[in-house]
Structure formats: structure tokens, C-alpha cells
Chain A
Amino acid sequence: MSPKPLDYESLNENVKKVAYAVRGELYLRASELQKEGKKIIFTNVGNPHALGQKPLTFPRQVVALCQAPFLLDDPNVGLLFPADAIARAKHYLSMTSGGLGAYSDSRGLPGIRKEVAAFIERRDGYPSDPELIFLTDGASKGVMQILNTIIRNEKDGILVPVPQYPLYSATISLYGGSLVPYYLEEEANWGLDFHNIRQSVAAARSKGITVRAMVIINPGNPTGQCLSEANIRELLKFCFQENLVLLADEVYQQNIYQDERPFISARKILFDMGPPISKEVQIVSFHTVSKGYWGECGQRGGYFEMTNLPPQTVDEIYKVASVSLSPNVPGQIFLGLMVNPPKPGDISYLKFVVESKAVLESLRRRAHIMTDGFNSCRNVVCNFTEGAMYSFPQICLPPKAIEDAKKAGKAPDVFYCLKLLEATGISTVPGSGFGQKEGVFHLRTTILPAEEEMPAIMASFKKFNDEFMEQYEDYRGYSRM
């Protein structure tokens, strides 16, 4: 009998090629151990609320009221909800035709898209058109939609930073395109190396690949670096010269832990550069409610904004969006609240600011604690987390460890991370899940564990690491401290 359709052999090869380590081997092993009763610290995904970060109060009040609008008529509602939350709930409900339970426009509620446009205008100083802003169930869905629009076949190449958040590599595999890597310079704080980028493009073209787009993740994931204005200008010029659409993943724009390089959107810089470039370079910019100081991952709220895309392309993207009917409405409201938070004078303003600041300031402190902690470990070198939510230390594995890894049939960093997990319960993602230079190993952890638990976590890591290194090497290691 011929193989059944759902036999492994007859699945779409592209699906089999997909790898997404963030919820791959380490995470699955950690979940198994957790079931067996071991205490696990999950630092594999940027999932703040799972590590004790509390949701901001105001948005939860607003969305709860939108879920149960009959509350708004109840005389007792003011006992539980402040007046501005009540007013805001009415504001968002009035934007819908039937509340949270009706499909919205496939691009998202017009009222919220207007709020997003207003936010972008305030942030960048240039007007933004709500018609070119599409809301999505999380930024990831938006990235997948755009890549699906660009990739025609395996000859279409997408420039992706290495290391990268593996949504990009996974999606390119799924849609049958080609990933064209450009390596970030670890020694230069994960900076861009345009010589390397040009080489990559040339190499790809010599293999018959048409390079169509360039992904930047700013602030970087897993690397955390914040691009300078000069960097972004050079990138835009490069895209202009090489005819690439820039895919600007800016989901961590609120997560900045140094003051030298604040966040500036790629779109703003493009417009600062003026014509002709400002009218030519195509950009798609992505944002989300999952990160920042909101951390509302579970809501699946996000958007993308298109710059310099022709109307017919926008129509085609709209058409495909309409097949999924609409993004989830509560997620859209979270997005509206994020871009349009309480203002000075609002009843909830002070509490909102206190809550937000507490999260950001703590993240900044944790970025330092973690970086310093890693740098105090034997054979570990770690760039400072300038932004985003991760630490990406380099683990200099001794040759004997690499051998043992091979014997165990594991990539060296996977081997290390599994041992770390078994010894300490710390669940990380091996650097190979993000891409790295040949023979150089990393792991990604988040800076999200509670601040009061960090010293113990770092101590636990150091104990494991230093013992591991002692076990495997000739007592000649180095660290930055």
C-alpha cells in the first residue's frame, strides 16, 4: 500500500526543514524535567509574565470592561474600575461594530490604526497613514505575511543577521526561499560590518540568488545591540543601491538600557535623508504588545507599517489578510492602549507611570547584573545587553568538551546547555538556534527572571560553568573580569 498522506515521508519538505530552537530540544527537555518535579527557570523565550512580571493595571481594566460591557451599566462598576478606564472602554467599544465579538476590518479597527499612526507621528515627527498600517495577531504573523509576499521560489534571497531571532530562518524555510546571512561583529559590540554584508550579497548573486530584502532587528535579538543613526543611514543607502526592501523588526524599541544610542526608527531616518532615497526605499516596520514594558505576549497584538509600497501591492497584502478575516480584537485594543497610554492628568496616569518605570528600570539593572555575572565566569565573555530582553554570552568550550559533545551526538552548545539544564534547572537556548560563526558557541538567556532571584541564578550558573570548565580544560581559561 502506498504511504498514507500524513506519513512523515510524504510531508511538505519545507516543513521538515523548519527549525525553531526557541521551543526546540532544550525547551522540550526542560518541560519533561519540570513534569518530573524539577524546578525549572525558563529563560528560553522573551515571556515576561511567565517570570513574574505583572501586567500593567490600566490596560487590563479597560479590556476587562470591553469583554463584559454589561458592567458599564452596573451602578457598582465604579467600585472596581476607575473612571478613565471606564471611559476608555467606551471609547474602544464605540470603534467596533458589535464589541469584541465581531470580526473587525481585516486590517484592524480603523480607529486603532489611527491611534497607531498618531503614535508613529509623535515618535518620528513625520505623518503616518493609517491605511498603510495593518494590525496582526502578533508581529510574527505580520513577518510571515510579508515574507510570503516577497518569496517566489528558492532563488529569492533574504538578508538576515547572524545571530538572528529564528522566526526569520524558520519562515524562509517554510516558504521555500533562501537565507543570505550577514554576520554581526561580536568584537565590535555586535555591530554591522558592511564589507561582510556586501560579500554575502555578492556570493549569493554568484549562485543565482536574487537578493530581495534585508532584515534588521533593532534593538537586536538575541544580541541586544542598538543601531546608531549612522548605521541605519548606511543601511538605507545600501538598500537603495542594491534594490532591497528593508524589513525593520523594531519590537524591542521600548527596551533600551543605555543612553548613547536611543531608539530611532528606520522610517524616521529614511525621511530625514530626504528625496530621492526617502521616496524610493521600501520599508516594512514591525511592532508588538509582547515586549517593551508591557510584555503582553499572550494577547497576540502587533502591527506592521508599509513605506513606499505601491498601492496594488498593498491591496494584495490586504487580500491575503482578509482570508484570515481579522486580527483578534482584544489584542487590537491592547495595541491601541500601548500607543495611546494614560496622559498626565488622567486618574490612572501616576499608577501607570510608576508601574512602567519600575519594569524598565528593573530591566536595566538586570541587564547589568547578567552581563557582569556572565563576565565573571571562566571562559565566558558577554557583550552588554544594550536593548531587547536577552543576554547572549559566548562560551569558550574547551576541545575536550567539544569532543564529548560529538560523542554524545550533540552540537557543542546544545551539549553544554543540556548539562546546564540538568545541573541547575536553567533552561536556555543554544546559540546554534540563532546562528553563529563556525566554531564559536553561545547561549541565549533572557534578563527576565525576577530581580531578587538573579543573584542566586547567576551564582548557580557560575558554579556549574566553572566546574564544567575545570572538568574539561587544562586550567587555562580566561574571563573578562
Chain B
Amino acid sequence: MGSTQSPPVTLHSINPKVLKCEYAVRGEIVSHAQILYCNIGNPQSLAQQPITFFREVLALCDHPSILDKSETHALFSADAIARAWQILDSIPGRATGAYSHSQGIKGLRDAIAAGIAARDGFAASADDIFLTDGASPAVHMMMQLLIRSEKDGFLCPIPQYPLYSASIALHGGSLVPYYLDEATGWGLEISEVKKQLEDARSKGIAVRAIVVINPGNPTGQVLAEENQREIVEFCKKEGLVLLADEVYQENIYVENKKFNSFKKIARSMGYGEKDISLASFQSVSKGYHGECGKRGGYMEVTGFGADVREQIYKVASVNLCSNISGQILASLVMNTPKVGDESYESFIAEKNGIMSSLARRAKALEDAFNSLEGVTCNKAEGAMYLFPRLHLPQKAIEAAKAVNAVPDAFYAHRLLDATGIVVVPGSGFGQVPGTWHFRCTILPQEDKIPAIISRLRAFHESFMEEFHD
């Protein structure tokens, strides 16, 4: 070696923020796993079928030269062909292999804006939309924009989807936790948020934004309208950016709750561009479409000046654009077949089939968890997860300590070894200290759920037997 220094890229010499960043969803426990993945929201890896109409349109856009052929009509529905033509006509030169505008293809953003307006009853603009490779890169962009130093803080729900903690660490900011209340179905109390905000400020943290995940991940609660209005009011008063993670907006399983976008709530309160800075995130990965592998999504950013939007555009432009197929899919998700379209009946049947199955699985697993000794589980009102609480006996906690493991990780490892079921320990999401949870998806195929429940029950009973006080 030319010098006695260690090579440039070793553990000791890489960016320490990279070392600090953690992401439990694909963390330690997964390296064992072979069998039943209940750890990530990846529906199609567990045999959920894609929506036919969407895939027809995407296939035609990938290979537009068959649109002119007569045989195509035998293989594809007429409205899929029509939609593909419409989409291709909005792409310069019909070139789906070209980099697009860095915010995404204008025609597709128009379609998404129309979809947002139809959903909310309030206008949306294509200029406010940034199409991204999934919702996650959009979150990163906002973090990049807002984090100047570790003195910049972000209010995050605890428990939270660890993209937020990871991305705050990666960009060198501070996470300011606000605890959701398990006793009230994971309720968000403004008084708690206010307390945490003031606490952080007293420590010299400039709190810049609040992350709200609605429906919640891992917690599954759907916010009540009144709650959402409180949050909007709070952001306006405290000058916080509202980062609204709304990727599960189509996953609601209870009759008494509805999804309301934060944009809709703010506008219905009479608040406009001057009143509240809002970034809303949506994705093609969840809902009933579950197209995780496509990496499609967008953020809608409202309530900030043109000079700031220029900066967001600039950062987006360094990566040129998001993948075109994902952009097309995002426009389809926000603009589905309508009554009277050829594909409408089959589309609705597929969608309803998936949604009702998800609701049944959510209930079955919730009931199963609640039937176990020492386990309490809040209802999954929405999203794709259950987050049961483990009231672990002291002996189990000590056994975990003895092997240098966090108690919920210890439980999850044992569960994996005994049953092949992979879950994510609650410590990966954050929880009130001294409480233990794990996150389990509701995604395994419906006919496998009874077997999962019985295996889980058998394991749990023997675990509690082994460690009872």
C-alpha cells in the first residue's frame, strides 16, 4: 500500500449519519427468514393479484407498437387500449423510454390533479405535483429541503413507520417523538404533541414539521375529522409544515371512519396557500392495487412560495425523473375505470374482492391476538398491519436481557424459529418505554390465516408456559 492509512471506504471512515440510520423492517431478523413473511407491506409477494385493467394499460404503454395491430383487440379490453392511447398522446413522441419533465409527465399530473379534486371536492394543480419512485423518495426530498442541522426537529408519531426516523438520521436532523395513545385506539392527542413541541424548543430544537401518518403505520388508526382539524390548526399556529403520509388512503376497514385528506380538511376550514404549508404523499404500493415493485408515487405540495418550489424542482431534476411506468400507474390509481367503461365491472369486482378480504383478515388476526394470554391488540381500522401489545412476564424479559436482546425482538426470534412466521419487533417502530409490541401484516393469503393463527397460538402458549412468573 502506498501509505499506512486504512482504505478510504471503511466502517470507520464512512458518513456517520449512514451508521446512525436504522430500518428495522428489513433489519436483523430478516436474514433468518425463509417461510411466512408478515414483516412488510408487500401484498403481491403473497399472491395478491394485480388489477387487470392497470396491467393491460401498462403493457400497452410498454410496447405501443402492438396498438396498431388487429390481434391486440383479441388480447386487451377496448377501454385499456383507449386509455393507453390517451396516455401515449400526452407523452412527447409517445416515447415511454425518454426522461420526462422532472416533476413527471404533464398530462399524467393533470389526470392526478383531477383525481385529487374529485376525491376532495377542492381544486388541485398539476404544478403542485411531483411524481417520484414511490412515496419514499418524496419524503427524502422534503427532509433534505428542511434539515439544515441537528437542531432542526421533526415531530413524528410513536410508533411510526421507520422511514421517518431513518431519513431524519440520514439527513442529520432530530426526531421529536409524540406518543400515540394505545388506550384510546392509538389516538393522537394535541396536548401531547404540544407538550413535545415545547419540550424540544426548550432544548434549542427548531421544530420544522410534523409527520402524520393517516391511516397509521404500524398502528392502523384512521383519524377523526375533528382530530385532523385540530392538527391543521396547530400547524398553522405553530408555523409547522404538515407532512401528511396518506399512502393507505384506500385501506379503510371500518364503517364508521372515512379517509379525509389533510388538503381537503384544510381547505374546508377555509385555509389556503397562505395559511398552511402541506406536503401530502401518495403511493401505488398500497391500497387495493399493491404495486410495490413499480415504485410509483407522488407528493402534492401546497402553501409555499415559487422560490421554494424552484428548489424542490431543482433537487428533483438532478435525478432527471421518476420511472415512466410508475408515473403512468399513479395516474391510473387516481383515475380508475368509471361506470359504463368496459372494464368497470371486472375492475370493481377485483377491487372489492381484495378490500373485503383485507377487512376479513384484519378482523380474524385482531380477534386471534386478543384471544391470547397477555396480548392486547387494537383494531386495524386501516392500513395493512396489526400491532399487538405483549404483556411479557418478567422471566421472559430477563431471558431476553441474558442474551442481549430487546424483549420484543427476543419474542419475535422465538416465534420465527418455532413457526417460520416473520414479524417486526415493536422496537423498530418506537413505543412507550417498557411496553413491547410487534407488527404483523394482514397480507398472507386468506386461506393460510387459520394455519398462521393456530401456529401462533401454539407457540405463544408454550412461550408463556416457559416464562410464566
Q: Is B144 an interface residue (CB 8 A)?
A: yes
List residues of chain A with CB within 8 A of the CB of B9.
149-150, 212, 245, 282, 309-310, 313
Q: Contact partner of A49 among B71, B72, B95, CB < 8 A?
A: B95
- Name the residue of chain B whose CB is nearest to the CB of A306: B9
For B11-40 the 0/1 string (1 means CB < 8 A from A) is 101111011011101110000000000001
| A254 adjacent to chain B (CB < 8 Å) | no
| Closest B residue to A12 using CB positions | B148
Does chain A have a CB within 8 A of B208?
A: yes
Q: Is A192 an interface residue (CB 8 A)?
A: no
- When distances are taken between beta carbons in the complex, the residues of chain A under 8 Å from B396 are none
A324 close to B10 (CB less than 8 A): no
Q: Which residues 230-261 of A sit at the B interface, judged by CB distance below 8 A? A: 240-245
Known A71-B75, A328-B293; contact A297-B99, beta-carbon cutoff 8 A: yes
Give residues 42-57 of A contacting B (CB, 8 Å): 45, 47-50, 52, 55, 57
Q: Which of B16, B44, B99, B209 contacts A50 (CB 8 A)?
A: B99
Asked if B63 contacts A103 (CB within 8 A), the reply is no
A397–B111 Cα gap in the complex (Å)? Answer: 46
Q: Which single member of B5, B18, B52, B322 contacts A149 (CB below 8 Å)?
A: B18
- Interface 0/1 of B257-285, CB less than 8 Å to A: 00000000000000000000100000001
Q: Which residues of B (39-57) have their CB < 8 Å from a CB of A?
A: 40, 42-48, 50, 52, 55-56
Given contacts A70-B52, A141-B319, A325-B292, contact A11 B7 (CB under 8 A): no
State whether A313 touches B11 (Cβ < 8 A): yes
Let me know if B21 and A64 touch, CB within 8 A. Answer: no
The answer to whether B322 touches A300, judged by C-beta atoms less than 8 angstroms apart, is yes
Pick from B52, B75, B92, B315: contact of A174, CB under 8 Å: B315
Instruction: Closest A residue to B289 by CB, please name it.
Output: A101
Which of B8, B133, B170, B305 contacts A328, CB < 8 Å? B133
Partner of A330, one of B92, B148, B323: B323
Least Cβ–Cβ distance between B312 and chain A, in angstroms: 9
Interface 9-mer from A15-23, A342-350, A423-431, A459-467: A15-23
* Contact between B145 and A96, CB atoms less than 8 A apart: no
For B125, the chain A residues whose CB sits under 8 A away are none
| Distance of A273 Cα from B163 Cα, bound (Å) | 43
Let me know if B315 and A15 touch, CB within 8 A.
yes
Encode contact with B along A139-176: 1 for CB under 8 Å, 0 otherwise.
01100100011111000000000000001001100110
Residue of B nearest to A301 (CB): B323
Question: What are the interface flags for A33-72 relative to B under an 8 Å C-beta threshold, 1 for contact and 0 otherwise?
Answer: 0000000000001011110100101001101110111110
Q: Judge whether B42 and A243 touch: CB under 8 Å.
A: no
B293 near A104 with CB under 8 A, answer yes
Q: Are A102 and B99 in contact (CB under 8 A)?
A: no
- Distance in Å from the Cβ of B463 to the closest Cβ of chain A? 29
Residues of chain B within 8 A of A7, CB atoms compared: 304-305, 308
Instruction: Name which of A12, A140, A309, A326 has the most chain B CB atoms within 10 A of its CB.
Output: A12
Closest Cβ of chain A to B199, distance in Å, is 18
Complex Cα distance A106/B292, Å? 12
The answer to whether B293 and A100 have CB atoms under 8 Å apart is yes
Verify A308–B320 contact, CB threshold 8 A: no
Complex Cα distance, B45 from A436, in Å, reads 50
Q: Do residues A64 and B294 form an inter-chain contact, with CB atoms below 8 A?
A: no
List the B side residues contacting A243 at CB < 8 Å.
1-3, 5, 7-8
Q: Does B167 contact A (CB under 8 A)?
A: yes
* A98 at the binding interface (Cβ < 8 Å): yes
Smallest CB-CB separation from B147: which chain A residue? A12
Q: Are A8 and B311 neighbours in the complex by a CB distance under 8 Å?
A: yes
- Asked whether A330 lies within 8 Å of B2 as measured between CB atoms, the reply is no
Task: Kindly state the separation between the CA atoms of A309 and B10 in the bound complex, as whole angstroms.
Answer: 7
Cβ-based interface call for A280 (8 A): yes
For B166, what are the chain A residues with a Cβ–Cβ distance below 8 Å? 323
Q: Which residues of A contact B52 (CB under 8 A)?
A: 70
- CB <8 Å contact, A16 and B323: no
Cross-interface CB contact of B311 among A1, A11, A175, A324, cutoff 8 Å: A11
Say yes or no for A409: interface residue by CB 8 A criterion. Answer: no
Q: Is B97 an interface residue (CB 8 A)?
A: yes
Complex alpha-carbon distance, A455 and B171, angstroms: 49
Q: Residues of A within 8 Å of B, CB-based: how many?
A: 105
Whether B239 pairs with A4 at a CB distance below 8 angstroms is yes
B74-112 interface mask toward A, CB cutoff 8 Å, 1 = contact, 0 = none?
Answer: 110000000000000000110111111010000000000
- CA–CA, A213 to B142, complex, Å? 28
Bound complex: CA A170 to CA B42 (Å):
34
Contact flag A174-B144 (CB < 8 Å), given A103-B40, A149-B18, A323-B170: yes
Q: How far is the CB of A74 from chain B (nearest CB, A)?
A: 6
Whole-angstrom distance between the Cβ of B443 and the nearest chain A Cβ: 11
Q: Given the complex, which residues of A lie within 8 Å of B56, measured CB to CB?
A: 68
Contact A6 B16 (CB under 8 A): no
CA distance A97 to B74 in the complex (A): 29
Q: Is the CB of B8 within 8 A of A11?
A: no
A82 at interface (Cβ–Cβ under 8 A)?
no
Known: A8-B307, A309-B9, A328-B294. A300 touches B323 (CB 8 A): yes
Q: B325: CB under 8 A from chain A?
A: yes
Determine if A206 is an interface residue (Cβ-Cβ < 8 Å).
no
> Does B137 interact with chain A (Cβ within 8 Å)?
yes
Cα A323 to Cα B66 in complex, Å, equals 38
Segment at the interface with B among A314-322, A351-359, A398-406: A314-322
Q: In the bound complex, do residue A11 and residue B146 qualify as a contact, i.e. CB atoms below 8 Å apart?
A: yes
The answer to whether A245 touches B8 (Cβ under 8 A) is yes
Name which of B15, B52, B137 has the most chain A CB atoms within 10 A of its CB.
B15
Q: How far is the CA of A390 from the CA of B63 in the complex (A)?
A: 28
Q: Shortest Cβ distance from B358 into chain A, in angstroms? A: 16
Asked whether any CB of chain B lies closer than 8 Å to the CB of A202, the reply is no
Contact A60 B46 (CB under 8 A): no
Nearest 10 interchain pairs by C-beta: A241-B2, A329-B293, A64-B63, A298-B324, A102-B45, A101-B44, A328-B295, A50-B98, A49-B95, A68-B59
Beyond A1-B239, A103-B42, A325-B40, 13 extra complex contacts between A and B, CB < 8 Å: A4-B239, A13-B148, A67-B62, A69-B55, A80-B75, A98-B46, A101-B293, A106-B26, A148-B15, A242-B2, A298-B100, A322-B26, A329-B293
- Between-chain CB contacts (< 8 Å), 16 pairs: A11-B146, A24-B317, A63-B63, A68-B59, A71-B59, A71-B75, A100-B294, A150-B9, A297-B98, A310-B11, A313-B11, A319-B22, A322-B25, A325-B292, A327-B295, A328-B323
Interface on A for B, CB 8 Å cutoff? 1-2, 4-8, 10-16, 18-20, 22-24, 45, 47-50, 52, 55, 57, 60-61, 63-65, 67-71, 74, 76-77, 79-80, 96-104, 106, 137-138, 140-141, 144, 148-152, 167, 170-171, 174-175, 212-213, 240-245, 276, 280, 282, 290, 295-300, 308-310, 312-313, 316-317, 319-320, 322-331
